[in-house]
Amino acid sequence: MIKQFTFNHFEVNCYVVVDEATCQCAIVDPASEASFEDAQLTQYIADKHLVPTLVLLTHAHVDHIAGLRQVCEHYKLPVTMHAEGRKLLKQAEAYGSIMGFAVDNMGDLKVSTIEDGEVLKMGETEIECRYVPGHCPGSMCFVLPADNAVLTGDALFHFSIGRTDLPGGDYPTLISKLKERVLTLPDEYTVFPGHGIASRIDKEKKYNSFLQ
C-alpha cells in the first residue's frame, strides 16, 4: 500500500510505503516543512500502528528533504540514498537559504547507501532501486512490484520530466535512463512522481512528448 502526502511550499509528494503483512513501512522523501506537516506524517504512522524501518530519498534536493532530520531523529533511522547524492545532502542548508527552506546542515546524518539494481526488503515487500540520473546526481526510482508501481521522484512526472538545468543535470542522460530503466516497466504500473498527479507507464510512453 502507498499513502501520499503533499508537503511544503514546493508541493512535494512524500510517500509512506506499507508492508501490510508486517506493518513495517518506508518513508520516501520526507519533505515536511512545518510542524503541522510533521504531525500529519507521524500521526498517520501512529494511527495505523506502523513501524518505520526505512527512510528513502529519490534525491537530495532541499525541497525533498525539508523534514529529513526530524524523521531520522524521531524514528532513529539512517537516511538511505545513492552515494552520489551525499554532496547535495551536505549543501541542503545553503540551498535552503536560497529557496526559502529553513533547514539545518544535514551533513552529520547517518547515511546508508544503495546501488542501482539493489533490492531492499521490508517485511514481505521488495523495493527495487533503479539509478536514473539526469535531473541531479544520486537520483533513484523505486520499483514496487507488489503494488505495480514506481516512485520516480523528479525524474518523471505526468506527461513531463524533471528539469535538467540545475547543477549536475543532464538532459540526454535523463532521457536515455528513463527509456532504459523506467519505460521498460509493465504498462500497467502506476507512476508516483515527486510533484503533481500520478500517471501510468503506458500513458507516459504514448503521451509524454519528451519520451517519444
Domains and CATH numbers, the chain: 2-211 (3.60.15.10)
State which residues of the chain have pLDDT below 50. none
What is the reported pLDDT for 90? 81
195, 157 in Cβ contact below 8 A?
yes
C-alpha cell at position 115: 546501488
55, 64 in Cβ contact below 8 A?
no
What is the reported pLDDT for 107? 78
Supply φ then ψ for residue 59, to 5 degrees.
Answer: -170, 170
What is the reported pLDDT for 127? 98
pTM of the model: 0.94
C-alpha cell at position 23: 506493518
Q: What three-state secondary structure class fits 37?
A: helix
Supply φ then ψ for residue 80, to 5 degrees.
Answer: -105, 120
Q: What three-state secondary structure class fits 116?
A: coil
What is the reported pLDDT for 95? 63
d(CA 87, CA 68): 15
What is the reported pLDDT for 166? 84
